[in-house]
Structure 1
Amino acid sequence: MSTVRQIRAWLSARRRFQFVLTVAMVMLLTGTCVGLLMVPNPILPKLRATQQANAESLGQAQAGDPRLAQVRRTIEPFGQLVTRVVATGAGHESVVVGHPAQRSEIDVLASELGAATSAVTELWGPDWAQSTLVAVASAPAEFAALLHSVDMPSDVAAASIAEPFAPGTQPTAQRVVFSPDAGRRLSPDGLRTLLRHELTHVATRAVTVDGAPPWMLEGFAEYTAHRAQPHSFLDVAPTVTARVRTGELPTDLPSAAEFTGKSAVLAYEQAWTICAFIADRYDEPHLVALYRRIAASKQDPTSEDRILQEVLQTTRADLIADWRAWLSPRTA
């Protein structure tokens, strides 16, 4: 019996000890919370900054960045985040975001983003946000989700997107998204050039109507991308060069249908040469003015002819003839 009493006494003592320990822990935690509430305000930002620095050291994006808030739910399930904040002129900042596996592409794009923004602004003007989110996807599903598209062609290396907006207002939630294999398919120079192309679409989006002629939209973006770059005519338009050298000159401006499928490469090159010709023959302000008129609505040959006469004082037929004559000596 004495042994039973000893066991009961030991269990009772243990329960009392556990109770006392629990009460002590509650009091300690309560005191800690009260102490934090009484910490002077100047100290709290330092604590928060330390927490943010720790998160950033792990490759996580700043939780409070409003530009990232719109895409975090899409990209975080695909893995840890890497972010770069880039000054893009006139007090603006842009962000490049992706995942550790795309760090090399992120670094290339971040190093180019400031110069690319300035290059677009120099040609187009300052009436655009100049603060862009650039994302590098790690998987086709992430690429499609960031672009809100389920039928994005597999050969697309990058695209830009804006949330729906009212005519005459600035678009919101604009971003440029690079595909998961963009870094494998393109050299660093190719990534930089493509970034400028897509930033041009971002800058011009407010005055561009869906369905406007792609020879103007894509040609202008290509012109901006290669402008002031050490790229020769042959570098930018090898397909056009080869065709013109065999006497196969274009007979018309490329149609919208030609910008898809096997004809897309030639159509994009032709569109660039059209805009390069206009800038060379008339000047860049005339090219910008023509874009603003052509991109403002869907066009047909008749409406294009009218706009060309108003902006360039030439007809559509004469523009094509002069463009053809301009091509020959540059492809010789």
Structure 2
Amino acid sequence: MSGLRGLREWWSARRRFEFCLTVAMVVTLTGLCGAVVMLPNSALPKPHAAEATDAVGQAPATDPRLAEVRRSIEPFGPIVARQVSTGDGQQSLVVGHPAQRIEIDVLERELAAATTAVTEVWGTDWAQASTVVVASSPSEFAGLVHAGAAMSTEVAAASVADPFAPGTRPTGQRIVFSPDAGRRLDPDGLRTLLRHELTHIATRADTRDGAPLWMLEGFADYTAHRDQGRPFADIAPSLTARARLHALPGDLPADAGFTGPDAAATYEQAWSVCAYIADKYDEPRLVELYRRIAATRQTPATEDQILQTVLGLSRTEFIADWRNWLSAQTI
């Protein structure tokens, strides 16, 4: 019996690690862009004859978003394109190839609810119309996220956007899932990752490169896990174990921790910071804190000023209170 329990714990930890490692790689991709990039013809498979998209939920051929994606993915084979009603009468797209139909079905089914979940936290001040693409091969995935040969095989999804000037709205935003995302993540994992990436899409206009990742990634993870009924220990198993050993974090997660061997634990800590703020204060103040902290690069001194303004705590007091909250969650 103890062997079976150990196997279950190992499998749960592995799934959480793979999810966090996946999201960690997104840090280097969010905000990258340009016009849609095509790999050299020599690197592409030979084009297939065009096939009709699915009749149910078929995306109109005149949709400019579909036309843009088609230029990148049509050389890789026939296309399946689904239209999904999301938020305030908006229309989102889920696009891929027949071989990824299972993943496309899951994402199509989850997209409306995921959009609502993000809007419930962030508000309606975002497009609420997304483009989600499922790649069929590593080369197609790399081309869609503009990563080229540097693309890591560990990445299961990434959100990208065209460059945009401060004060303007980002364009060309899309979420791209890797060809093996469905093999590595079950439907619950795909749903969570979709909500995480949609949060990056929703907040992109208010986010500047170089802003603290504890806020950016913690907020995306908070929205992804919110109201899914999972206990603290399931979302943050590593943090729970450390807290029970009285090895609580001494500071807010540093950017460097979001990659490398401690990435899973760092993501758990970042999620817990935002969960603490929402629980101890409320979600509107969590959103206000995000907008202020994500607006530019920060230092401990500037974070201190923002925390004083929004929550009435110094940075030192904030960390101490967060640690106390952690202890209470892991008793």
TM-score (norm 2): 0.82
Paired position in structure 1 for 2:62: 64
Paired position in structure 1 for 2:210: 211
Question: Would you tell me which structure has more helix in proportion to its own residues?
Answer: 1
2:295 is paired with a residue whose SS is coil
Partner Cα separation in structure 2 for residue 290 and residue 258 of structure 1: 21
What's the offset of the Cα at 1:120?
0.7
Paired position in structure 2 for 1:224: 223
2:82 is paired with a residue whose SS is strand
Partner Cα separation in structure 2 for residue 274 and residue 245 of structure 1: 17
Paired position in structure 2 for 1:279: 278
Match of 2:90 among 89, 92, 101: 92
* Residue type at the aligned position of 1:95: L
Paired position in structure 2 for 1:182: 181
User: Does structure 2 conserve the Cα–Cα contact (< 8 Å) formed by 1:161 and 1:175?
Assistant: yes
- Identity rate of aligned residues, in percent? 66
Match of 1:125 among 123, 126, 133: 123
1:83 is paired with a residue whose SS is strand
User: Does structure 2 conserve the Cα–Cα contact (< 8 Å) formed by 1:61 and 1:81?
Assistant: no
User: Does structure 1 conserve the Cα–Cα contact (< 8 Å) formed by 2:52 and 2:79?
Assistant: no
* Residue type at the aligned position of 2:74: E
Partner Cα separation in structure 1 for residue 249 and residue 153 of structure 2: 28
User: Does structure 2 conserve the Cα–Cα contact (< 8 Å) formed by 1:60 and 1:81?
Assistant: no
Paired position in structure 2 for 1:142: 140
* Residue type at the aligned position of 1:305: D
Paired position in structure 2 for 1:165: 164
Partner Cα separation in structure 1 for residue 96 and residue 108 of structure 2: 11
Paired position in structure 2 for 1:253: 252
Partner Cα separation in structure 1 for residue 263 and residue 52 of structure 2: 47
User: Does structure 2 conserve the Cα–Cα contact (< 8 Å) formed by 1:162 and 1:174?
Assistant: yes
Is 1:202 the counterpart of 2:201? The answer is yes
User: Does structure 2 conserve the Cα–Cα contact (< 8 Å) formed by 1:56 and 1:62?
Assistant: no
Paired position in structure 1 for 2:316: 317
Partner Cα separation in structure 2 for residue 159 and residue 253 of structure 1: 24
Q: Deviations over 1:145-180 (max 9, x none)?
A: 111112233212111111111111111111011111
What's the offset of the Cα at 1:53?
10
1:173 is paired with a residue whose SS is coil
Paired position in structure 2 for 1:115: 113
Paired position in structure 1 for 2:296: 297
Q: Deviations over 1:160-212 (max 9, x none)?
A: 11111111111111101111111011110110011000000000000000110
Partner Cα separation in structure 1 for residue 306 and residue 191 of structure 2: 33
Q: Deviations over 1:272-298 (max 9, x none)?
A: 000000111111110000000000000
What's the offset of the Cα at 1:64?
2.0
RMSD: 1.9
Paired position in structure 2 for 1:104: 102
What's the offset of the Cα at 1:246?
1.5
What's the offset of the Cα at 1:54?
5.4
What's the offset of the Cα at 1:79?
1.1
* Residue type at the aligned position of 2:218: G
Is 1:265 the counterpart of 2:264? The answer is yes
What's the offset of the Cα at 1:63?
3.2
Go from structure 1 to structure 2 and tell me whether the alpha carbon gap of 1:278 and 1:177 turns closer, same or farther (over 3 Å shift): same
Structure 2, unpaired ranges of 5+: 1-49
Q: Deviations over 1:36-86 (max 9, x none)?
A: xxxxxxxxxxxxxxxx995646x9965322111222121111111111110
Q: For 1:33-72, what aligned pairs fall within 5 Å after superposition?
A: 56=54, 62-72=60-70
Go from structure 1 to structure 2 and tell me whether the alpha carbon gap of 1:190 and 1:55 turns closer, same or farther (over 3 Å shift): closer
Number of residue pairs matched by the alignment: 281
1:155 is paired with a residue whose SS is coil
Structure 1, unpaired ranges of 5+: 1-51
Partner Cα separation in structure 2 for residue 62 and residue 78 of structure 1: 20
Partner Cα separation in structure 2 for residue 133 and residue 328 of structure 1: 40
